[in-house]
Amino acid sequence: MRIQIPAWLGLVCVCGLISCGNEMESPVSGPTQISLNSPDYFPNNVAMPADNPLTEQGVQLGRMLFYEKKLSADGSISCASCHQQQKAFSDGKQFSFGVNEAKGDMNAMSLSNLHWQNRFFWNGRAKTLEEQAVQPIEDEREMNLPIEEAVKRLEADTKYPALFKNAFGTEDINAELIGKALAQFERTLISANSKFDAWIRNEVELSPEEKLGMELFFTHPDPKLQLRGGNCSDCHLGFLTAGDPNGFTGFHNNGLDAEEHLASGLQSVTGNPFDKGKFKAPGLRNIALTAPYMHDGRFQTLEEVLDHYNDHIQNSPTLDVLILEASNELPDGSDAVKLHLSKDERKAIISFLHTLTDQEFITNPKFSDPFN
């Protein structure tokens, strides 16, 4: 089916190389390879890692590990403690708490459509999903368990050696295979059945307010052309509404703090002073369910987020140029960086953001706790 997309959206729908549906033929004795259940309007240029193909058995194992509390030092938490399905795999807290009530310093990111990303955590310190998956196990503020101990615990559990053999052909459990299994499950966390998706598929109409919000979301303002926009899609791109997956281009200083208060962000990974204050632009799928917002959870509501971009941008040497030059009014000679959206325009954008909520995603039994 060809999807009619307004010209202002500037996107082309193509058939995905990673297709929906049927399992691929697999060797009788090996794990059964499957394909991601993704729509054809998601990007088609992201290959599955050659050394970690998606399989039924790997996904099953990864789901169990995602909910496995044995992977925390005191057996009290799992990955799912900070990434809860009903909250679109976030946790509703400004900062999550690990074992022994250890408090983190970053907001727990929502997990969805991870296959189309290639840098993980707010500062991008993990290059791959496989690498990201195991870091919280050892982090002293999170699960606080040496990976060697995690391996021993899984080896001592009668069900896991056989599950690893089914998934990877060996009962020898190690950190690499734990990461691969978790990554396989996390890649299946695809959110693509919101009202916005139904609109893309020509199944529903958006309300006038939602449609205005969508147009504003995907438009970069240009007052010289009397073109009004919310400037959202400059950082939250395309149908995924997510940051650019190419290297570090999806990281931005979005004006949260003045220069003297900037957190290191991406600079802690690259060592480049120009990266100070830059953080990952997350996907906005299910954004209405994942408050609080920003890397430090400082905003409790979407209204606060829009107010920030509209009136409270803090200028600094690394402020993203996409924000610096975005305004719905011509320069007035001041140094203030403001978007100048009207109250009704902000309300419309928030209405559109609510169309990104995917009820199927947050109730899908394939993503739920297998131990319940």
- For residue 29, the model assigns a pLDDT of 66
Give per-residue pLDDT as tens, 5-21.
444 444 333 333 333 33
Domain ranges of the chain: 8-191+360-367, 195-356
pTM: 0.91
Residues in binding site? 79, 82-83, 232, 235-236
- For residue 13, the model assigns a pLDDT of 37
- For residue 118, the model assigns a pLDDT of 86
CATH class of the domain at 195-356: mainly alpha
**Which CATH number does 8-191+360-367 carry?**
1.10.760.10
The amino acid at 169: G
CB 191 within 8 A of CB 358: yes
Count of CB atoms within 10 A of residue 78's CB?
22
CB 112 within 8 A of CB 190: yes
Handedness of CA 109, 115, 121, 122 (dihedral sign): negative
- For residue 19, the model assigns a pLDDT of 38
- Residue 33: beta bridge partners? 55
- For residue 23, the model assigns a pLDDT of 41
Q: Counting beta carbons within 10 angstroms of the beta carbon of residue 76, is it exposed (0 to 12), middle (13 to 18) or buried (19 or more)?
A: middle
CB 116 within 8 A of CB 42: yes
Per the listing, tokens 């190389």 go with 17
Residues in binding site for heme c? 79, 82-83, 232, 235-236
Planar angle of CA 52, 270, 93, nearest 5 degrees: 70
The two domains 8-191+360-367 and 195-356 share their CATH topology (first three levels equal): yes
- For residue 3, the model assigns a pLDDT of 41
- Residue 251: beta bridge partners? 280
E strand or H helix at 252 = strand 251-252
**Regions of the chain with pLDDT less than 70:** 1-29
**DSSP class of 8:** G
Backbone angles phi, psi at 252, to 5 degrees: -145, 145
| Residue 103, token pair as written in the block | 């408090």
- For residue 14, the model assigns a pLDDT of 34
- Separation CA 263–CA 111 (nearest Å): 23
